[in-house]
Structure formats: structure tokens, C-alpha cells
Structure 1
């Protein structure tokens, strides 16, 4: 894969769009909470787990496995793409804790396709959250 096939990732323009410390899942307890009773969205590139949280802000956790993506540069690229896509959709995902796990196909996929794939996952998480609210 050449660098020319990857589109440049734009940076946050305003403070509310930034990927802040409060937007991250931190610690094993936070990840365990999501893994216990999560709604799942799967495809050939990612598995996305989402669960409602008690806060207003959406939080993201990344589990980018070395097993599925050997090169550190590719793992870092995947993390950047996931964080950027999450940042762009953060307002629509408010009140959710989300964990993204990679699969082997993600390492060979260009950024544009990864963004499209993640948009579908974000929609699935939104729909799952709406369904979860309806159950209570």
C-alpha cells in the first residue's frame, strides 16, 4: 500500500470537536463494563462494542491488536483513523461507551474505506442505543 492512496486526516477546528481526555475510556474497569453487556457491530475490518454510560459524553476505547496488525505504523494509522472518525461523530454518539477492536483486513484497507466502515458502525451503535432506551 502506498501513501498516495490514503487521504489526509483533517484536524479539529473547534474546541468541542477535540478528542479530549474525557472522551477516552481509561482503565480496565471501564473496558470491562463495556465488554460485559455490549451491543456488537461486526464486519471484516472491525468489531465495535457499545454500551450506554451514565455520562453525557461519548467515550472511546481502542483495542488495536498487534496479532492482527504487525507493523506499528499501521496500528498507529488505524488508531488515528478511528479517533478521527469518532471525533467527527461524537455528538451523535453521546451517552455511549465504545470499544473498537481491529481485524486483520483493517491493516490492508485504505483510510477512506475505513472511514466508511466506521460510519456504519457508529450508526449501528446509535440504533442500538435507541433500542436500549426503549427497553427501560
Structure 2
């Protein structure tokens, strides 16, 4: 698996973000942050970031946080197979130092991977996982 962070590893459209927000199959709350995840039926995970001005006032801080989260994701993506992950920033995230961010996200990725239902138990792509009435 490539350890890069190319375009195919990002959530790009509002529709992709909406799918995760509407039906997350995994959550990992942390200090000043929330991770939402959903199965994506791909062989790699994708990352989306929601870091608003209300949560982190200064653009330079928002950009620093995004760089730190992307790097942490890039280094830990081998544990996060087939997730679409959205990181939602909360107030106070901009106050964390880079080392604190790296440590917190390292724990969050592990928690998300640990809470994942067995990857082998997923339905095949041709079957629906919704119950039929």
C-alpha cells in the first residue's frame, strides 16, 4: 500500500462528506475533535477535514492543524483500511502544540481501527446491508 496522500485518498465532494455525516459506522471523540467514519468499499481509506473559523480562528492555525492531521493519517493509514473518515474540529484544537496533535491523532486512529467491526464480516459489494421488510 502506498503511504502517499494523493487525490484518491481524500474526500473531495459534498456528497462524499454527507454520506459520512448521515450514517457513520464508527466514531472516535477526542479532546476538541470528533472523528466520524464509514465503510467505503475501497481498498484504501479517504480523509476529509472540517475545520471552521468558529473552531479555529486564525487561518495559519487552521492550516497547521490540517497539515498535522494529514501527516498523521498518512503515517497511520495502513491500520485504517476501507474507511471514509471526516475529522470535525471543535474549539480548543488550535491551542494544541504539534506534538500534542500527533499524539492525540495517533490514539484516535488506533481507537477507530480497534472499534471497527470485523472487515471479513462485511457484505459483498453485490449485496445490500439494509434489512428488507
TM-score strictly above 0.5: yes
**So what's the TM-score if we normalise by structure 1?**
0.82
2:44 maps to 1:67: no
SS at match of 1:16: coil
Correspondence for 1:76: 63
Correspondence for 1:117: 104
Contact 1:46/1:103 (<8 A) preserved: yes
Correspondence for 2:6: 20
Spell out structure 1 runs of 4+ moving beyond 6 A: none
> What is the aligned residue count?
122
**So what's the TM-score if we normalise by structure 2?**
0.84
Pairs within 5 Å for 1:1-136? 16-38=2-24, 39-130=26-117, 134=121
* Structure 2: runs of 5+ lacking an equivalent: 124-133
Q: Distance in 1 between matches of 2:48 and 2:119?
A: 20
Which of the two has greater helix per residue? Answer: 1
Q: Deviations over 1:64-95 (max 9, x none)?
A: 11101110000000000000000001111121
* Structure 1: runs of 5+ lacking an equivalent: 1-14
RMSD: 1.8
